[in-house]
Each structure stands twice: as structure tokens, then as C-alpha cells.
Structure 1
């Protein structure tokens, strides 16, 4: 377990509840504060991902030194649970950039630009094995950013929780009757272009449908 406190990150053994060691944190560099406000372990590696007010810093737990650093204004960070990938959101003027990074590389694997403030972000895997970054905005929009092609130029349309108007099904019932005057059959419409909601509101239509079903069963 990693705990950030003032100018150090302490690493603890959860089972024995003992302090293993501590990492010194640069309190201030070039007049900027770098105290971590969030710490996440990067899976399958000896690195931890930290977020401060002035940037994203990766620490090496073996050498107990800074491994990588990015000067930015990070809003969120997220570490992949199985792959050597991590992501962070950087706030710019009028938009928010989602960076997909690979451990040990300076150049981003992909960058997505979103015009709405992002409030939460997480990696997730679908039941079919597809990898995505899920980014949620303050307007309750959900962006699924695909990791498959690692391009990120085209941002998918967001899923919102806004209720979509339901399509109403139209029902038309017909009954064949015998015209005894000239011994010919004719088709009589019982319900024409009625919707399901209309059927529920119009009891006469419901009775007509019931009568047709009964007539068919008797014949």
C-alpha cells in the first residue's frame, strides 16, 4: 500500500502492517508544488503513478527515484490493471485532453480531445475482450475511447443518460366478412393505424380485438 504524506510517499506491507520504505518527494521545483494528491500502482511493474497540482510523476520503487515526469495540469489519472498502460486528463483552454501512455515512453500512444469537463475516468474491458477508456463528463456524457487501434483521432459519440423517445408500434387489424347480398367477401378494418398507447386508452378498440380473436377461435 502507498500513502502520500507531505514530502514523502510511504510504502506499507498490508499483511504485517509494517513500513517498508519511503520515497522522498520534491516539495517544490522551480516555484511549483509537487506534493502527490493521488497515488496508484502500475500493474506488473515496479512503478507507481502519482498526480500533483503541477504534473504527473512516476516513481521507481526499486531505485526509489523519479522515473518519469510530465509537467501539466492533471485532473485525473488511471492505471490499467493488467497492461503497462496508464492515462491522465490534462486541462487546457476550452477543452480536456485524455492521454494514453505506455510505461517508459515519453510520446503518447493516443490523445483524445473532449470539449466538456471530465469528472471521472477508468479503464474497462468488455465481455468480448475489447479495451476502452471510459470518460464521464459533468453533463453525464460517457465517452468510450477504444484502445484497439491506439489512434484516437476520431472521438466516438458519447452515450448520455437522456431518455430516448420510444417508437410506438402501429397495429392494423382486419376481418373478412361475407356480404350476403351478392355472395362476395369483403375486408373490414377494425383498428386502423392505432398505437399501443391508443389501444390502452380506447376500450372499444380493445373489445374489437377481443371479438376478432373469439370469432377466429370459434370458427
Structure 2
């Protein structure tokens, strides 16, 4: 079934008049790119559907968040090492752009900032839930603080250091859009978690204020 001529891209008519023969027109100026983009969007939708199905059980959802967090930490540490050693490479290849920005294994700094921001949001969620779990089991503020310090010293320090590494890598990417997107994601998570009481509201407010201070310091 052919589409109406009025739907065709006007440049097809211009090309036909310039070349002197009729060129079959299409809605898109580049049909191949249209199909490629459609396939990519369908792929994104498929990934979302698989993630949604996998995360139906809470233990699976937590496992996925933990994997995303520590994968992000590994990428961040790799990028930080390259950045401070002034090595302008991506794995075994030399960089072709963004020479003064941390991009880890990504070519584009904004793409890496998006990935690092996702890891930062996941790490924030794990920390917030862990702190809420420890604090809710205590009867006083002092005992809660002591139990929290003990938990961080025993098992929580890798996650804290990972969070700091992700934040540092995100800042060193010099991607303002990536940093703002990450801060918006964290604040959105804290708001939703605080409203549903999955995270203590006072903790959510304090962490949200900390995110605001981090963004302010990095942008100044």
C-alpha cells in the first residue's frame, strides 16, 4: 500500500526536479536510519520489559540494583585511575574527543555521565535502605548512631566508598546535564521512598540536602 504523495518528504521532489527523473518518495529522508532507529527503540522497550519482569520479586530487584551499583563503581574507578594518570585512552585505543574529561570506557562524556548517574542512584538507594533498617531497630538516637557507625565499619564501607567514587567520576566527567539528571534521579527516589516510608523521611530530607550541596559545590 503506497502512502499519499503529500506525506513524502519535500526533498524527494526537489531531488527529482534536480536530476530530471522521478525518484520514489518516502516519508523519511533516510528510510534505513528510520528502521535502525525503530529497531533501537524496540530494543529499549524490550530491555525495559525484561527488567520489569525480572524485578517482580524483591530479592531479584535488589540483586539487579547491587549489580548495577558495583558495575558502576568498577567503571568509575577505572576512569578515575586513567584521569589522574593523564592517560587519554579507552581500553586499548586512544581517545578521539573529550581529552580533559573522564569518560571511563565510553567515548562520549554525557553517555558515561548517564551511566555513572544511574549507578549513583542505585548506590544511594542501597545506602538509604540500609541506614533506615539499622535506625528503625534502635530505641534512641545515640544507640542508632553507634549501631550505624558499627555497621559501616563492619560491612558498609565498600558501599560508601563506591558512592564517593561514583560521585567523583560523575563530577570529573564535566557533564552538567549528567550531573543534574543524577541529582534529579536521587531526589525523585528519596521523595518517593520517603512518601512510602521505605526510607526514613528525616534521612531522605538530609540526603536530599546533601545532593543539593554536592551539586552546588561542583557547579561553582
Q: Considering the TM-score relative to the shorter chain, is it more than 0.5?
A: no
Structure showing greater relative contact order (alpha-carbon pairs closer than 8 Å, 6 or more residues apart)? 2
TM-score, with length taken from structure 2 = 0.19
Which structure carries more strand by proportion? Answer: 1
TM-score, with length taken from structure 1 = 0.19
Which structure carries more helix by proportion? Answer: 2
Greater radius of gyration (CA): 1
